[in-house]
C-alpha cells in the first residue's frame, strides 16, 4: 500500500474551500501535472461528477486519470477515486474550521494488486508529489476567492 498526506491552513472559510475543491475544473489552477480536464458526466461540483483528466506521466507522456467525486459533506469533506489509468488511488480532502481560516488535510492511498506491487516505491513518490502541491492549492483558493 502507498499512502501520503499533507496539511495546510487556508485564509478562507470552509465553505469557500469546499466549493473550490468540489469543482474538478479547478485542478489545473493548482496541480502542475494536469494537461486537460473536462466534465464527462454528472453535474459539475456535485457528488457523482466524473471528470475526464489527462496528466503528465512517466517520461512526460500523457496518461488518462479520470476521477469521480465519491463522497461530499459540505464544508467538511470531499472524497474521490481515480477510475482510469495505470494507478487508481483514492483520496480525500478533510476540512476543519479554525477561526477565520480552514485547516485542510489532503490524503491519498493506493492498494496495488498483482505486479503493480513491484511499483510501490514509484507510486509512493507520485502520491507524495501530489499532496506536496497543497501550498499551490492554498495560493489558488486565496487568489480565486478574492475576485
pLDDT of residue 145: 67
Mean pLDDT of the chain: 93
Say yes or no to pLDDT of 129 above 70: yes
pLDDT of residue 123: 84
User: pLDDT grade, residue 57 (50/70/90)?
Assistant: confident
Q: What is the pLDDT of residues 130-147, one digit of tens each?
A: 999 999 999 999 998 665
Are the CB atoms for 75 and 60 separated by under 8 Å? no
Question: Can you tell me the distance from the alpha carbon of 57 to that of 20, in angstroms, rounded to the nearest whole number?
Answer: 25
Q: What is the pLDDT of residues 70-124, one digit of tens each?
A: 999 999 999 999 999 888 999 999 999 999 999 999 999 999 887 777 677 888 8
Question: Can you tell me the distance from the alpha carbon of 70 to that of 25, in angstroms, rounded to the nearest whole number?
Answer: 16
Domains for the chain: give ranges and CATH numbers.
2-144 (3.30.530.20)
User: Which residue carries 476543519 as its cell?
Assistant: 96
DSSP-derived secondary structure for 39-59:
EEES-TTSTT-EEEEEEE-GG
User: Mean pLDDT, to the nearest integer, of 7-20?
Assistant: 97
Amino acid at each position: 500500500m502507498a499512502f501520503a498526506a499533507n496539511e495546510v491552513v487556508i485564509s478562507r472559510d470552509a465553505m469557500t474551500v469546499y466549493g473550490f475543491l468540489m469543482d474538478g475544473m479547478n485542478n489545473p489552477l493548482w496541480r502542475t501535472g494536469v494537461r486537460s480536464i473536462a466534465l464527462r458526466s454528472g453535474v459539475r461540483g456535485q457528488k457523482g461528477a466524473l471528470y475526464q483528466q489527462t496528466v503528465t506521466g512517466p517520461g512526460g507522456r500523457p496518461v488518462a486519470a479520470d476521477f469521480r467525486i465519491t463522497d461530499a459533506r459540505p464544508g467538511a469533506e470531499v472524497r474521490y477515486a481515480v477510475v482510469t489509468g495505470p494507478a487508481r488511488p483514492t483520496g480525500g480532502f478533510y476540512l476543519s474550521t479554525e477561526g477565520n481560516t480552514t485547516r485542510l488535510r489532503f490524503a491519498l492511498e493506493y492498494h496495488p494488486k498483482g505486479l503493480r506491487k513491484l511499483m510501490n516505491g514509484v507510486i509512493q513518490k507520485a502520491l507524495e508529489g501530489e499532496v506536496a502541491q497543497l501550498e499551490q492549492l492554498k495560493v489558488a483558493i486565496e487568489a480565486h476567492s478574492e475576485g
